[in-house]
């Protein structure tokens, strides 16, 4: 027997005239919807994962709030640092004058490395 024959056999009405599938009793659709909604609400209230996920979301919101506050603080700090005038760099003349003033302090270091000025001999 092939598939087509089996389908035809199943589609034939029952010999006593009874329907092949039982007919569901007529139910008010509003009552059915309300009972379904009550059932879903009871699932929601009985489920411990709802509490766990709610706590997790609250913790994430608090963490994001702290991160936003920190980002604002850092952004403000960056803006104030950029707005402050930069320390003026010293010119060549100022650097040369500072080096000349510090030359006396560098003589012992130069002597340690053999850069001490040799004693000049006066011929006479």
Query: In this predicted model, which residue has the larger pLDDT, 37 or 124?
Result: 37
Q: Is residue 85 part of a domain?
A: no
Measured CA to CA, the distance from residue 30 to residue 36 in angstroms comes to 10
Q: Is residue 68 part of a domain?
A: yes
pLDDT tens string 24-51: 677 788 888 898 888 888 776 677 888 8
Q: Is residue 118 part of a domain?
A: no
Q: Is residue 55 part of a domain?
A: yes
Q: Is residue 117 part of a domain?
A: no
Q: Is residue 63 part of a domain?
A: yes
pLDDT tens string 49-105: 888 888 999 999 999 999 999 999 999 999 998 887 666 677 888 888 887 777 777
Measured CA to CA, the distance from residue 117 to residue 112 in angstroms comes to 12
Q: Is residue 73 part of a domain?
A: yes
Give the range of the structural domain holding residue 57, as residue numbers without chain letter.
48-80
Give the pLDDT of residue 124. Answer: 47
What's the pLDDT band for 17 if we cut at 50, 70, 90? low
Measured CA to CA, the distance from residue 36 to residue 39 in angstroms comes to 5
For 107, residues 6+ apart whose C-beta sits below 8 A from its C-beta are 116
Give the pLDDT of residue 39. Answer: 86
- How many domains does the structure of the chain reveal? 1
Q: Is residue 111 part of a domain?
A: no
């Amino acid at each position: 027997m092939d598939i087509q024959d089996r389908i035809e056999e199943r589609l034939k009405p029952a010999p006593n005239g009874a329907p092949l599938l039982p007919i569901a009793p007529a139910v008010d659709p509003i009552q059915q919807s309300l009972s379904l909604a009550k059932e879903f609400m009871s699932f929601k209230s009985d489920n411990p994962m709802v509490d766990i996920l709610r706590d997790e979301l609250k913790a994430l919101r608090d963490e994001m709030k702290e991160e936003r506050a920190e980002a604002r603080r850092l952004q403000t700090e960056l803006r104030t640092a950029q707005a402050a005038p930069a320390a003026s760099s010293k010119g060549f003349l100022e650097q040369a004058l500072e080096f000349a003033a510090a030359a006396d302090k560098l003589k012992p270091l130069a002597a340690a490395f053999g850069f001490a000025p040799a004693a000049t001999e006066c011929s006479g």
